[in-house]
Structure 1
Amino acid sequence: MLDLDIFLFPFFQKTLFVGFLIGIVAPLIGVFIVLRRLSMIGDALSHVSIAGVALGFIIEVYPLALGIVFALIASFAIEKLRKAYPSYAELSIAIIMSGGIAFASVLFTSGKGFNINVQDYLFGSIVALNTADIWIVFAVTLIVITFVVISYKELFLVTLDEDAASVSGLSTRLYNILITTLTALVISVVIKIVGALLVSALITIPVACSLVVGKSFRHTMWMAIIFSEIAMMGGLIIAGIWNFAPGGTVVLLSIALLMLSFLFSRKKSL
């Protein structure tokens, strides 16, 4: 018999609310990341963000805030390196991710007693959210949605054809920086509930599902959000009832949806 009392607990209600917001904002920014062939940027920024979180515990500063700062700095560094290596854009991600992992490992070994708390950021936790975290996620969600709505046409052009966007007079450098910056914000606020080790999957897999069934750019974006919400809400509920790791449950459900998408697409084509 399932124990459904967890739905009555305020902490789980907060988790579902934050999960709903993340289910919108992660694929929304993920569409632009995937189509720009920068899918691994999530891993790079999440590892740098964890280094910031670890430093926050050491110097007793709000960890999530320092994680956001580190991720933002890393996002600017990635854009700088992308310009330095125009033919090897993925190299910038590899460099930043290596640096983030190295710095985090040094901080982990020097930390005294904070490593247990960092586990929540590495693997995610449905009980670790506090009021400040919720407000930050809400603020980032509003920022991303507002930016996408206002700059949809520009983002569409920069994402699909950066050269054409530049010729038309758009500041591609500015939009690239803004997209990467918003990605850093999203990743920083997502890691506490999904975990840094799996946050990249939450941004990319729903988009991968939508690319299988999407009929247009806009339709693909909406389908990515729908897939993300199903995986996020379903994964959190399953994790809460059976006491599974939330991040792993959400990602496994996302992969299951991806497999179903391929199956549905194959049957439709027959």
Structure 2
Amino acid sequence: MKDIHIYLSYPFVRYAIVVGILIALCSSLLGVILVLKRFSFIGDGLSHVAFGAVAVSTVFNLTDNMVLVLPVTIIAAILLLKGGSNGKIKGDASITMMSVGAMAFGYLVMNVFSSGSNLAGDVCTTLFGSTSILTLTKEKVILCVILSIFVISAFVLFYNKIFAVTFDENFASATGIDTQKYNLLIAIIIAIIVVLAMNLVGSLLISALVVFPALASMCVFKSFLSVTVSSAIFSVVCTALGLFISILGGSPVGATIVCIDIVAFFIFYLIGKTGH
């Protein structure tokens, strides 16, 4: 406990905890929607799109890669949600195509144009997250807080509409709900969370942050509200625990959080099995 108190006295450790908890909370809200819409793999696909955008922004030496990464990821999310339901190429195929293509393009760009001496390290950091999240600047923390407030506020304000669109889009449309507008909102939320989560767990581990809390909660609870609340608590607790273990033990942040998620998922799974 004494070590934790010492670490918490440093501003950058507090920044990491604030950002980690906010991202965990936003990811858990999103995860419930995506799992129920059978679109849980979209987080992985968009994370690879974001990787490609990060590679391009790195080559052009952009001081803030959010300027490029966030718009590109939002556009990709809109195309995937719109095309996945209405296009000739269905959801899983379109996600796979975009995911593989963006990953290959990003890696090619970094190889051909990168002027850095540690290409493997740059790629590894982007894919799996930093070995430490303790490099966040105050500006990035403020941006994360603003975007997280937008995500949480949108989810709370439009909870009923999102609930209707998630469970039965055709019925929601028949009752007068503009499903395209709310699917657009969901796409923007997905993109924001993916871009934010890249700083925490890296592009390859984002899906775990999105999916595990929702799936674990569904093992125990049945109603949409109870699953959503449980998922949020699950995600925040596991992320905070993973951050503290990583800070104290020096382990990679992203991988540590995901491993905690896996253990907690199996605990919830067993609880769900014994409860029936």
Q: TM-score, normalised by structure 2?
A: 0.91
Aligned to 1:264: 271
Aligned to 1:49: 50
Counterparts of 1:44 and 1:94 in 2: how far apart (Å)? 7
Counterparts of 2:88 and 2:186 in 1: how far apart (Å)? 17
Taking the TM superposition and a 5 Å limit, the aligned residue runs for 1:121-270 are 121-125=126-130, 126-269=133-276
Aligned to 2:91: 89
Counterparts of 2:203 and 2:262 in 1: how far apart (Å)? 18
Q: Give the AA of the match of 1:112.
A: S
Unaligned runs of 5+ in 2: none
Q: Determine if contact 1:45/1:187 at 8 Å carries over to the other structure.
A: yes
1:23 aligns with 2:24: yes
Counterparts of 2:149 and 2:102 in 1: how far apart (Å)? 28
Evaluate the alpha carbon distance shift between residue 199 and residue 31 of structure 1 in structure 2; reply closer, same or farther with a 3 A threshold.
Answer: same
Comparing 223-232 and 127-136, the one that deviates more: 127-136
Comparing 62-71 and 197-206, the one that deviates more: 62-71
% identical aligned pairs: 31
Q: Determine if contact 2:55/2:107 at 8 Å carries over to the other structure.
A: no
1:129-158 Cα offsets, whole Å, 9 max, x none, are: 112221221111111111111111111110
SS in 2 for 1:112: coil
1:148-199 Cα offsets, whole Å, 9 max, x none, are: 1111111111000111011111121221121012101111011111111101
Paired positions, count = 269
Q: Determine if contact 1:124/1:247 at 8 Å carries over to the other structure.
A: yes
1:112 aligns with 2:115: yes
Q: Determine if contact 2:83/2:90 at 8 Å carries over to the other structure.
A: no
- TM superposition shift of 1:122: 2.1
4+ residue stretches of structure 1 with deviation over 4 A? none
